[in-house]
Structure 1
């Protein structure tokens, strides 16, 4: 293998919990909810699928089906999809819905998996190219910079910047071109079989990890080092 492509959310990084997300925004805006109401609102937001990088909607309303299917193709669609779902949950101030969306784009909302730095650093030491291929509606580069991982990434290929989302092979093809590598000598690592599995259409080898909280997945990325040889 001459390069490894990584998914972002659920693979290298994990978003904070819905309760942490809501609590942080309430503190930033100077609003407060009793603990019981805060926990209930966080649960409702999670069930609605309002936290990008979090759980999918338990039941996707029909009126959101169209924008949900293409939400990662532009920044506007991404915001519309997630704030639309968020607004199905009553909060003490309507402005909180946009504030919540803005919060999830901050480095503080994300934590790298415990073994991410070790794996990325080792790949760099071995001369293996590294790309990040993500279905996303915003620029995740500051997250990598803030957590000290940007120096190990050679290329970022983000769906909203190209108007196409995984599993479309074109997104993986862009990544391979930016790294100047043959797809048949590339490993794609992700947590979504439907999305990340699209790399197989180009001849890439695909390896999956589980989308778990960082405390429950300390070393799932380490096998990548054996797979690249």
Structure 2
């Protein structure tokens, strides 16, 4: 088997995990100076979670028909991404109209994200071994500040973000951009992600693929470590 000399990582659910829906809502309430009794806050958070309104959080239980088109293409541009997720959040009545935009802005904050416990160890070890690293994400905003804020940016050689290229995983073109950025043969690259549908698209390019579970940070301390055995 050919030795691997490049690793492509997904972002959400792979290297980082977004905060809980309740924490997300509390932060937006604080940001807008909006009061909401605890019982109503918890009920609204549960409704937002069911709606799938938090990017990186739970998938929608149902996508309203009027949002189906934008939802299918949500990661192809910043405009579509915002429209899809604010559209979902607006399915839930909230006490102030400014909260919907505040929620969307909050999820882009580095404070909304936590790296998995083994992310630093794995990324730094790959750098020490001279293995190229790219982050390949279906996303509608610039996640680089999240990596910088958490001290992981120094270990990433390239960011390949769907909204910057107008194409989203599982389209193999996005993985091809990452391999070119690293100067890597796809046959010697590994894609690590939490979505068999999206991240599995790298296999069509000839990359090896490894999946991890999209779990809370505290429940997934070492799922990335096997990557080091593969390189």
Instruction: Choose which of 4, 8, 26 in structure 2 pairs with 1:5.
Output: 8
What TM-score, normalized to structure 2?
0.98
Deviations 1:161-211 (A, max 9, x none): 000000000000000000001000000000000000000011100000000
The residue number in structure 2 matching 1:137 is: 140
- 1:44 and 1:94 map into 2 onto residues whose CA distance is 17
Contact conserved, 2:32 with 2:98, CA < 8 A, in 1? Answer: no
Residue 214 of structure 1 deviates from its aligned partner by 0.1
The residue number in structure 1 matching 2:213 is: 210
Aligned length: 228
Runs of 4+ in 1 over 3 A off after TM superposition: none
- 1:8 and 1:208 map into 2 onto residues whose CA distance is 13
Instruction: Choose which of 103, 108, 119 in structure 1 pairs with 2:106.
Output: 103
Deviations 1:72-124 (A, max 9, x none): 00000000000000001000101100000000000000000000000000000
- 1:194 and 1:31 map into 2 onto residues whose CA distance is 39
Residue 28 of structure 1 deviates from its aligned partner by 1.4
The residue number in structure 2 matching 1:72 is: 75
The residue number in structure 1 matching 2:89 is: 86
The residue number in structure 2 matching 1:119 is: 122
List runs of 5+ in structure 1 lacking aligned partners.
none
Residue 34 of structure 1 deviates from its aligned partner by 0.6
The residue number in structure 1 matching 2:179 is: 176
The residue number in structure 1 matching 2:45 is: 42
What TM-score, normalized to structure 1?
0.99
- 2:87 and 2:149 map into 1 onto residues whose CA distance is 29
Deviations 1:46-76 (A, max 9, x none): 1001000001101111111110000000000
Deviations 1:134-178 (A, max 9, x none): 000000000000000000000000000000000000000000000
- 1:224 and 1:32 map into 2 onto residues whose CA distance is 45
- What's the C-alpha RMSD, in Å, of the aligned pairs? 0.4
- 2:29 and 2:88 map into 1 onto residues whose CA distance is 18
- 1:156 and 1:4 map into 2 onto residues whose CA distance is 12
List runs of 5+ in structure 2 lacking aligned partners.
none
The residue number in structure 2 matching 1:14 is: 17
Contact conserved, 2:167 with 2:174, CA < 8 A, in 1? Answer: yes
